[in-house]
Amino acid sequence: MAARANIDVERLLAHYRTMARIRAFEEAAERAHQEGHVKGAVHLSIGQEAVASGVCVHLQREDLITTTHRGHGHTIAKGADTGAMLAELLGRASGTCQGKGGSLHIADFSIGMLGANGVVAAGLTIAVGAAHAVKLRGEPRVVVCFFGDGATNRGPFLESLNWAKIYELPVLFVCEDNGFAASTRTRAMSSGPGPHARAESLGIPARTIDGNDVAAVDEAAGELIERVRAGNGPQFLLARTYRLKGHTASDLGAYRPAAEVEARKAHDPLKHAAEMLKVSGVADETIIAIDGEARAEIAAAWKSAFAAPWPAAEIAFTDVQDMRMSSWR
Amino acid sequence: MAVMSYLEAGKAALAAEMREDASVWALGEDLGRGGVFGQYRGLVDEFGPARIVDTPISEATIMGAAVGAALLGTRPVVEMRFADFALCAVDELVNQAAKARYMFGGQGRVPLVARQPIGMWRSSAAQHSQSLESWYAHIPGLVVVCPFTPADNYGLLRAAIRCDDPVVYMEHKDLWAMTGEVDEAADLPLGKARLVREGSDVTLVAWSGVLRAVEAALTLLADGPSVEVIDLRTIYPWDRDRVLDSVRRTGRLLIVHEAVATGGFGAEIAATVAEELFGNLKAPVRRLGAPRIPIPYSPPLEEACKVSPAQIAETVRGML
């Protein structure tokens, strides 16, 4: 376990709350998928919540993120409404994308979330482009690009890191290494010492941390985002974590020993944070209350999402192409 | 009216848009040195390297970065050098640029222009010569433009840059030096064909470089049938009304394009006319395009891919 960073109790409680909300959201999404209410694929980040919370706590509303197919956690931590997200999973009109995207394409531009993505590594090029525009216009905001370990074997990973460095763009790359590229261990398919070494080979400073320790993520992300904000160009964070669920909600993960998963559950980021809170003198009841509030929020969100209407059929034909001129700014 | 080459017209159009709108910028390999064909020469002096951006040979990221930058409200003009190289950026163009607005429920738009020079030119062989406009016409969300005249390259590039939808903009490499009058004050719309010549016997629809073969064929047909020639200009959305109105009058349709005939955009036009105007047709609809072979290097072999003026003239005569 990584050395415990100093973190005050209120801040840790806030992280615990964010992580509990993500966990409750994804457990509800998993159940809804299994019960057939959510038709499309759902990729759960259960066990990886500390990365989302520890990074996004440093972002302002106007800062930007891109994420992946496994992006519910980042989206919630950036500030998206869980009710609109659940409605999107259900394909309802009140979803973040009017039901046209689903879990794989959740986006919320109002909070600077530029989209999940169905294609591995596709978010990297979009993130550096957003950072390029930010720099071109001299804006103070930063871009955080979340991606998985699997993405580091795709060409756009090399291209985008190189691009960000040659133009010294305001972007933090966050590689959330959960050990698996779909059902294959990434380690078996990757040469060299790892993603951080690939970043360093391009001159991008990289830090490697225990991604299940939210205090460690908070500290490292804080330092790196500060550097990005100060105009020091792109930075790289490798957060080592573990995907406690399968690749999708319908993947039982039979390709890995059950004992391995059980052992990893001992280092669940929520459990880890709860232990730190207890050590700091926070009562069990406080933690249990936070869990309860998170579940209550998601239950209410679920109820409203379920009650929301389906999109009207004509919505299928909107926002395709209209050749409007010079209106998008 | 100024006389410009097709290349100068494209450069003037980009410069005009960049002067009027600070959010317009261009990115691609070698742009600071003028671009592979010189179509950006001198622009970096006026606009600086932050807006005329030299990039690495990273087509996927050139296109993907343009998507991210466009979602934020800038207007990137992407240079792919050759349409063939743009195939390294198909995910970014087809899965991201074309779909971002739709799959995010209209929250964002992607006003990028992807310049992809097409066509056979100086024995460029199989990986530097293709005309792939029909591929992109197939993708919901993309506008596809193939200008032929300098005036159209000026007006349509300006319109493409202003367009809030992603535009695949395909200039023909063999036309760079061709000169013509350009009305810089004209406002050209996307989606409208250009009537090249009125006629009453046969409607001939074509676009891009092959229109020169069409012009030569008209000379061969000088004392023959009356041919109405339509330059489609925008491949998608195509000017259905203009084409259907013409075929309704002539009863005969020939489509000519440089791209491989099989699955080319001519097939879409032919199918539409068959569906809409079957009863009006006086002859079977005809298509001329390249055979389905990779484009070879050797000049006499390359000729085998080109639609010739004689072939066009003979086909027209055979329809009467």
pLDDT digit string, tens, across residues B194-234:
999 999 999 999 999 999 999 999 999 998 999 999 999 99
Q: Which of A245, A231, A238, A203 is nearest to A217 (CA)?
A: A238
Mean pLDDT across A75-99: 98
Task: Tell the burial category of B283 from Cβ atoms under 10 Å away from its Cβ (0-12, 13-18, 19+).
Answer: middle
pLDDT at site A256: 94
Choose the closest CB to A130 out of B51, B68, B92: B68
Is the model's pLDDT at A1 over the cut of 70? no
Give phi and psi for A247, each to the nearest 5: -60, -45
Q: How many residues does chain A have?
A: 329
pLDDT for the residue A6: 67
Element (H, E) at A143: strand A143-148
Partner A contacted by B127 (CB < 8 A)? no
Instruction: Give the three-state DSSP class for A288.
Output: helix
What's the confidence (pLDDT) of residue A210? 98
Closest by Cα among A92, A88, A118 to A102: A88
CA distance A253 to chain B (A): 28
Q: Are residues B60 and B196 in contact, defined by beta-carbon separation less than 8 angstroms?
A: no
Residue of A135, A323, A324, A327 best to disrupt the B interface, most CBs of B under 10 A? A323
- pLDDT, residue A2, reads 40
- Please give the full DSSP string across chain B, using - where no structure is assigned: -EEEEHHHHHHHHHHHHHHH-TTEEEEETTGGGT-TTSTTTTHHHHH-TTTEEE--S-HHHHHHHHHHHHHTT-EEEEE-SSTTGGGGGHIIIIIIITTHHHHTTTS-----EEE--BS--SS--TTS----HHHHHTSTT-EEE---SHHHHHHHHHHHHHBSS-EEE--BGGGTT-EEEE-TT--PPTT--EEEE--SSEEEEE-GGGHHHHHHHHHHTTTS--EEEEE--EEES--HHHHHHHHHHH--EEEEEEEESTT-HHHHHHHHHHHHHGGG-SS--EEEEE-SSPPPSSHHHHHTTSPPHHHHHHHHHHT-
Using a CB-CB distance cutoff of 8 angstroms, which residues of chain B are in contact with residue A320?
101-102, 140-141
| Average pLDDT taken over every residue of chain A | 96
Lowest-confidence pick of A130-139, A252-261, B258-267, B309-318: A252-261
- Cα B116 versus chain centre, distance: 9
Q: Measured between beta carbons, which residues in chain A are less than 8 angstroms from residue B72?
A: 64, 130, 133-134
Q: Say how far apart CA A128 and CA B71 lie, in whole Å.
A: 12
**What is the rounded CA–CA span in Å between residue B249 and residue B227?**
12
- The verdict on a CB contact (< 8 Å) between B68 and A324 is no
Full set of structural domains in chain B with CATH:
2-182 (3.40.50.970), 194-318 (3.40.50.920)
**Residue B105 burial (CB < 10 Å; 0-12/13-18/19+)?**
buried
Closest of B176, B196, B169, B199 to residue B97, by C-alpha: B169
Answer yes or no: is pLDDT of B107 > 70: yes
Q: Could you identify the residue written with the tokens 């319109």? A: B159
Please give the CATH architecture assigned to the domain spanning A9-299: 3-Layer(aba) Sandwich (3.40)
Q: What residues in A contact B96, CB-CB < 8 Å?
A: 117, 119, 122, 125-126
Cα–Cα distances in angstroms (integers) from residue B9 to residues B158, B178, B180, B230, in the given order = 10, 10, 9, 22
> Residues A90, A306: contact at Cβ < 8 Å?
yes
Q: What share of chain A is helix, strand, coil (3-state, %, to 5)?
A: 50, 10, 40
Residue of chain A minimizing CA distance to B20: A326
pLDDT of residue B98: 98
Q: Which residues contact A185 (CB under 8 A, 6 or more apart)?
A: A179
Instruction: Return residues 70-89 of B near A (CB < 8 Å).
Output: 70-74, 76
Nearest-5° angle of CA A293, CA A297, CA A302?
Answer: 145
Give the three-class secondary structure for A195.
helix
Torsion sign, CA atoms A322, A326, B3, B4:
negative
- Cα dist from B21 to A160, B7, B72, whole Å: 27, 21, 15
Instruction: For residues A12-17, give the mean pLDDT.
Output: 98
| Total CB pairs under 8 A between chain A and B | 159
Which residues in chain B have their CB less than 8 angstroms from residue A125's CB?
Answer: 60-61, 63-65, 67-68, 92, 96
Catalytically active residues of B are 128
Give pLDDT tens digits for A184-201: 999 999 999 999 999 999
CB of B169 closer than 8 Å to CB of B152: no
Q: Which of A316, A168, A274 is nearest to A231 (CA)?
A: A168
Q: What tens digit of pLDDT does each residue of B130-149 get?
A: 999 999 999 999 999 999 99
H helix and E strand count, chain A: 11, 7
C-beta separation of B39 from B16 below 8 A: no
Q: Do A98 and B106 touch (CB under 8 A)?
A: yes
Q: Rounded distance, CA A231 to CA A140, Å?
A: 9
Angle B171-B64-B95 from CA coordinates, rounded to 5°: 85
Q: What are the residues facing A148 on neighbouring strands?
A: A176
Residue A5 has pLDDT above 60, yes or no: no
CA B186 to chain centre: 19
Return the HEC string of A11-24: HHHHHHHHHHHHHH
Burial A124-159 (b: 16+ CB within 10 A, else e): bbbbbbbbbbbbbeeeebbbbbbbbbbbbbbebbbb
Tell me, what amino acid is at B78? Answer: V
Structure-derived torsion over alpha carbons of residues B159, B160, B166, B170, reported in degrees to the nearest 10 = 150
- The pLDDT of B23-49, averaged and rounded, is 97
Q: Tell me, what's the pLDDT at A4?
A: 53
- CB neighbourhood size of A35 (10 A): 8
Q: Which two tokens stand for residue B101?
A: 């607005």
CB proximity list for B203: less than 8 A, separation 6 or greater: B227, B228, B230, B243, B246, B247, B249, B250, B252, B253, B254
- A155: closest CA of chain B, how far (Å): 8
Rounded mean pLDDT of B268-279? Answer: 98
Residue A320 gets which letter from DSSP?
S
Looking at the DSSP assignment, which residues form a beta bridge with residue A182? Answer: none
How far is Cα of residue B33 from the mean position of the Cα atoms in its chain? 24
Residue B300 exposed, middle or buried by CB count within 10 Å (0-12, 13-18, 19+): exposed
pLDDT value at residue A252: 87
DSSP state of A325: B
Whether the link from the prior residue into B296 is cis, omega within 30° of 0, is: no
Residues of B with CB below 8 A from A130's CB? 68-69, 71-72
Q: Which of B67, B95, B104, B190 to mutate to test the interface with A (most CBs of A within 10 A)?
A: B104
Q: Look at residue B230 in the predicted model and tell me its pLDDT.
A: 98
Nearest beta carbon to residue A323 from set B58, B95, B143:
B143
Whether the CB-CB separation of A227 and A235 falls below 8 Å is answered with yes
The fraction of chain A above a pLDDT of 70, given in percent, is 98
Per-residue model confidence (pLDDT) at position A208:
98
Question: Binning pLDDT at 50, 70 and 90, where does residue A7 land?
Answer: confident
pLDDT grade, residue A3 (50/70/90)? very low
Chain mean pLDDT for chain B: 98
What pLDDT score was predicted for residue B256?
Answer: 98
Tens digits of per-residue pLDDT, A150-163?
999 999 999 999 99
Structure tokens at B17: 């848009």
Share of chain B above pLDDT 70, in %: 100
pLDDT of residue A36: 96
Alpha carbon distance B309, B69 (integer Å): 44
Q: Cα separation of A177 and B56, whole Å?
A: 28
pLDDT one-digit tens code per residue, A133-156:
999 999 999 999 999 999 999 999
Q: Quick one: DSSP state of residue A256? A: S
* Cα-based distances in Å from A178 to A156, A319, B164: 20, 35, 38
